[in-house]
Structure 1
């Protein structure tokens, strides 16, 4: 499957800029049959079945050029749903992971697939390739409870919002499951418990690039936390604030590295517009709780030094990491290769053993999606276009 996608992408790339000169698609009886099968099977992926009436009219009319046009239009519409999802912009609001798949040349890939007689591979190649999606798809088909089916459908759709190619080596944080997983070659390389944002300060959905590990980090205290707690501590008891490592000047507050530092002993270097990071914490007792939404938005990692060791394999040994931590010096170590990190939200997915699981909708995003989807259907039924 992966080799098929690479083949289609390569040939489409070589043909980029020549779409106007491409010959007719020349749909055969077999390829039309395969297209009809994929249209009928769209609900198995929790997608709406696209309207194929234009294709059926063209076939009944017997004009090959009209059949080619209608079939290609239908195939591209269905492929785009598999690749990008079928949700409105309102349903996707707050999903900050870059929508890079819109640049994929589906028309070029379709031409290659038709020429090679590989329509099935063309459609299958647009589905999310992550192992969790396959588990969700099986669970969706087997589930009989309408409410649970809807939750699974929401999460299948979220996978379509993820990049098709996540990379050979990446971190995936699922804030709903309170875990971070390092994936490599389609396999779990390690799993860590995490603490995520409170309902009042939810962890955003976004992606970034991890370029290094900061051991014994300084903490630049955000203004909202200064207003909420640290500022009052400084005013009320400056000596206590200094004992806890806080230093302040010109309205800004920082906290020195050390055992009391709110970032603990490790922070990942992962620049992003939210100023949200994966880091350690001195409050490790909270990791024993089942639901762990306690932070101001950042992702606190259980066994954070274990994650640092995992990311720095081949660069620093655990003994070297521990020696730096013991020194209380703030040291940043670059990764041998940057690693993408995806901070996502899946209320249905898999456990560490790969079996299906559902997680609490801590931020109410499933509920919001369901409400917006119902509103969209109502708009459609009253003749208004869906956003």
Structure 2
């Protein structure tokens, strides 16, 4: 008996079987009417012995050994030192996978537990919905994705070290961790507050940078950090509780504006009647530096010229953001003597703002102090660009180091602690690797 190949070559049964056994059996077997669910064979119709078809099956090679998984389990057991709960990471599932032996199940459990830990240490445990008025784009998920971290573990063999590398670099995080270790388990409220504020540091960029401005809203202070050292700090007036509460932001200072003009928001022009008052009282308007324009459609715009009565004072930081929040001077300097300084419409009024502006212009923009003084005296609108990057962080910590470096409790002026505390007490929600900002739209114009 012979078989005809596709090329027309006639082969005897033995030769055909031999070749099929080496390379081409699946194609020949498909011509048979045998049940494909059964073991396929090529049988000589003259009675020769069956030649079994052997299809090699891939052999699963474990990617994560029991040693890696055991190290991860030990890290989970001690994670309460970082203000997180071991139960959130389902250690019992990893323990069971270790007991079952190396293979696909252990690999899956290792990656799951490692991912959850890395996400929380890198991005924060608190879900977005509990971060009230938080509008910070944290880049850490992009710079250190889970795939990169797993590769780092493979390369170094160090599970714990890789996870610890995600901890915030700011000294306050380590100080809070030390405080948590020293706080007795019985002091539940204090421990929970420490944990909440540790997590707030994870919401931010891991390393804030070398030079930056940092204002902690409940502290009513802003500090200017250069080469990671605080060089000056000033009192602030922040937003009133309610719709004018100051949001949490991370923006970039692009310049210092001396003698700014103020385009008055419509929430004041129309909502508070300033437009009608300016139009009806031109003498008073001129004394306050207001100029009003009324369009054919009845729309009224009001601009306040530079000068001693300008609501922005003599300085404004140019830090564009969709919330219209910035640091600025104020003619109402007596308010800095108040203990409770949550008095503005959202923006951050800064004591000795001119000094801060001149120092920033000098350090970040290479503008001599004498030149800045001349600009101020001119009473002309002048924008000095920042040549070197200067981030500004507007944060909300109710337990943090004060400007003197002492760990302090600050009053929760906006009642933002409770949502964080409740979220940390609840079961950990599953989420994508990268936390994305909700598309929050500011419906009320921020004022001063």
Query: Which category describes the TM-score, using the shorter chain as reference length?
Result: 0.7 to 0.9
Aligned to 1:272: 321
**Residue 28 of structure 1: how far off its partner (Å):** 5.8
Aligned to 1:87: 126
Relative to structure 1, the CA distance from residue 222 to residue 183 in structure 2 (aligned partners, 3 Å threshold; closer, same or farther) is same
Larger relative contact order (Cα-Cα within 8 Å, sequence gap ≥ 6):
1
Aligned residue runs from structure 1 range 195-210, under 5 A = 195-200=237-242, 201-210=244-253
**Residue 241 of structure 1: how far off its partner (Å):** 1.8
**Residue 245 of structure 1: how far off its partner (Å):** 0.4
Aligned to 1:63: 102
Q: Name the CA distance, whole Å, in 1 between partners of 2:325 and 2:353.
A: 16
Question: Runs ≥4 in structure 1, deviation > 6 angstroms?
Answer: none
Aligned residue runs from structure 1 range 277-356, under 5 A = 277-314=326-363, 315-356=366-407
Higher helix share: 1
Aligned-pair Cα RMSD in Å:
2.3
Given the alignment of the two structures, is residue 156 of structure 1 paired with residue 194 of structure 2, yes or no? no
Deviation per residue, 1:14-58 (Å, 9 max, x gap)? xxxxxxxxx8544363x4443223201222222121211222112
**Residue 152 of structure 1: how far off its partner (Å):** 2.0
Which is worse superposed, 191-200 or 311-320? Answer: 311-320
Given the alignment of the two structures, is residue 97 of structure 1 paired with residue 136 of structure 2, yes or no? yes
Q: Name the CA distance, whole Å, in 1 between partners of 2:422 and 2:163.
A: 29
- Pick from 108, 111, 121: which aligns with 2:148? 108
Aligned to 1:234: 278
Deviation per residue, 1:302-321 (Å, 9 max, x gap)? 11112112212252122211
Q: Is the 8 A contact 1:216 1:330 kept in 2?
A: yes
Deviation per residue, 1:128-164 (Å, 9 max, x gap)? 1111111122222323432222222221111111122
TM-score (normalizing by structure 2): 0.74
Aligned to 2:437: none
Aligned to 1:177: 219
Structure 2 counterpart SS, 1:254: strand
Which is worse superposed, 354-363 or 131-140? Answer: 131-140
Given the alignment of the two structures, is residue 243 of structure 1 paired with residue 287 of structure 2, yes or no? yes
Q: Name the CA distance, whole Å, in 2 between partners of 1:27 and 1:351.
A: 46
Gaps in structure 1 of 5+ consecutive residues: 1-22, 381-387
Relative to structure 1, the CA distance from residue 149 to residue 316 in structure 2 (aligned partners, 3 Å threshold; closer, same or farther) is same
Q: Name the CA distance, whole Å, in 2 between partners of 1:137 and 1:128.
A: 11
**Residue 289 of structure 1: how far off its partner (Å):** 1.9
Q: Is the 8 A contact 2:65 2:102 kept in 1?
A: no
Aligned length: 356
